[in-house]
């Protein structure tokens, strides 16, 4: 086993307390949340009170101002326990960092304390019914009204994580529809704005406790002050923040695969066929050996990417490589583990079955794995 060196002892202490928090406050309720289609508000509030949300937010805005390794711990522990409904990663690693990076002082004062204490759940709305991979094709538009004080926002979004629970949504919209990518901006839209409606909580094959929604905007008046960063810079901001999102996916992928492999090793030692333990078959040992070797390599790579990110050196192409490889590995490993469980592996009662369904989307969101290959390919030729 290769010892992990990316974390310090304080991260491991944080890990222990967060794991205990999840074991007490999320594990017992997750099956019910899967039926409800979302986790409870209370979970967010409690997590906020204990400092588990957006730990990188600076102290002057209510956070603890620590580095991204604390987010990584949260991502890993949520994944290890198979708590796929807990959308802290999307909030802390993806949405809130936009406000930290591009928000005005006033926006930071207004929103960040609530993002930290659990009063404000965030989402980011890029995808539309007609546009996913090709973000430049976004049709949602925001035009300044005659007074010049408000944008009038129109359009619809789909597949938005935390979409039902969100109090604040970062909406990707065209503020200059004729300017292509250069006409794209980010708007901070509060959920109680008139004309903003949350549509269906979408039914998915996995991540059942995660609320994934349609969002509709009809003549929503968004104060000009809620423009995030500069007008027309939205596409560039998205490109700058995507490596962190892909790192977050990679951390989740490898932690989930490691956890399912561990559980599978226990299972094959206990399960018997032909009067022997399943683990005594050479095929089982070879499969376990392959998976263990693959995950050893993947762990080194993801930890290196985390290290690079802390040093502000994780580039777009390396993050794309991580997202591509880690999610392919996650899906392959969970599939093999399911096979080793036989029919029980197909039963939702078993974590491996839920992990199988939960994992599939990792190859799709945060940029599909085909888009990752485009990014990597373009950097080569």
Ligand X SMILES: Cc1cc2nc3c(=O)[nH]c(=O)nc-3n(C[C@H](O)[C@H](O)[C@H](O)COP(=O)(O)OP(=O)(O)OC[C@H]3O[C@@H](n4cnc5c(N)ncnc54)[C@H](O)[C@@H]3O)c2cc1C
Residue 145 gets which letter from DSSP? -
- Any idea which residue has 């040093």 for tokens? 311
Q: Cβ distance 169 to 186 under 8 Å?
A: no
The residues near 10 (Cβ < 8 Å, ≥ 6 apart) are none
By C-beta, is 211 or 303 nearer to ligand X? 211
Q: If DSSP codes are grouped into helix, strand and coil, which group holds residue 234?
A: helix
Give the tokens for residue 95.
């949405």
Minimal distance, residue 284 CB to ligand X, in Å: 32
Minimal distance, residue 264 CB to ligand X, in Å: 25
Minimal distance, residue 148 CB to ligand X, in Å: 28
By C-beta, is 279 or 326 nearer to ligand X? 326
Give the tokens for residue 239.
């490109």
Active site residue 349: no
By C-beta, is 126 or 288 nearer to ligand X? 126
**R_g of the chain computed on alpha carbons:** 21
Cα 354 from chain centroid? 17
Q: If DSSP codes are grouped into helix, strand and coil, which group holds residue 209?
A: coil
| Interacting residues with ligand X (CB under 6 A) | 90, 123-127, 132-133, 159-161, 204, 207, 212, 361, 364-365, 368, 370-371, 374
Catalytic residue among 34, 128, 214, 245: 245
Q: If DSSP codes are grouped into helix, strand and coil, which group holds residue 217?
A: strand
By C-beta, is 160 or 295 nearer to ligand X? 160
Which residue sits closest to ligand X, CB atoms considered?
A: 132
Minimal distance, residue 13 CB to ligand X, in Å: 31
For the chain, where are the alpha helices, taking DSSP H only? 9-25, 30-36, 41-49, 69-80, 88-89, 96-102, 105-117, 234-270, 282-310, 316-340, 351-359, 369-380
Which residues are marked as active site?
245
């Amino acid at each position: 086993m290769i010892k992990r060196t990316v974390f310090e002892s304080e991260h491991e202490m944080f890990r222990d307390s967060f794991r205990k928090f999840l074991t007490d406050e999320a594990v017992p309720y997750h099956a019910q949340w899967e039926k409800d289609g979302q986790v409870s508000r209370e979970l967010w509030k409690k997590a906020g009170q204990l400092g588990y949300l957006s730990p990188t937010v600076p102290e002057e805005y209510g956070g603890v101002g620590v580095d991204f390794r604390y987010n990584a711990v949260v991502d890993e522990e949520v994944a290890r326990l198979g708590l796929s409904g807990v959308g802290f990663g999307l909030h802390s690693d993806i949405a809130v960092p936009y406000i930290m990076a591009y928000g005005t002082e006033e926006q930071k004062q207004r929103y960040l304390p609530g993002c930290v204490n659990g009063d404000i759940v965030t989402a980011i709305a890029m995808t539309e019914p007609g546009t996913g991979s090709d973000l430049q094709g976004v049709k949602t538009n925001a035009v300044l009204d005659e007074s010049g004080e408000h944008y009038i926002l129109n359009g619809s979004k789909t597949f938005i994580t935390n979409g039902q629970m969100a109090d604040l949504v970062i909406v990707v919209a065209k503020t200059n529809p004729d300017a292509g990518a250069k006409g794209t901006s980010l708007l901070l839209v509060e959920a109680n704005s008139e004309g903003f409606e949350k549509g269906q909580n979408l039914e998915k094959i996995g991540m059942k406790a995660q609320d994934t929604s349609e969002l509709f905007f009809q003549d929503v008046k968004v104060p000009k002050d809620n423009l995030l960063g500069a007008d027309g810079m939205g596409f560039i901001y998205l490109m700058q923040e995507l490596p962190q999102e892909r790192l977050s996916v990679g951390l989740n992928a490898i932690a989930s695969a490691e956890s399912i492999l561990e559980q599978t090793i226990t299972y094959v030692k206990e399960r018997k066929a032909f009067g022997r333990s399943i683990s005594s078959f050479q095929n089982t040992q070879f499969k376990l050996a392959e998976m263990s070797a693959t995950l050893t390599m993947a762990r080194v790579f993801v930890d290196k990417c985390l290290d690079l990110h802390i040093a502000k050196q994780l580039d777009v192409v390396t993050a794309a490589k991580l997202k591509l490889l880690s999610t392919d590995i996650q899906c392959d490993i969970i599939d093999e583990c399911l096979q080793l469980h036989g029919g029980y592996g197909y039963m939702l009662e078993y974590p491996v079955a839920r992990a199988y369904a939960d994992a599939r989307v990792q190859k799709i969101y945060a940029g599909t794995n085909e888009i990752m290959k485009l990014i990597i390919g373009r950097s080569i030729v």
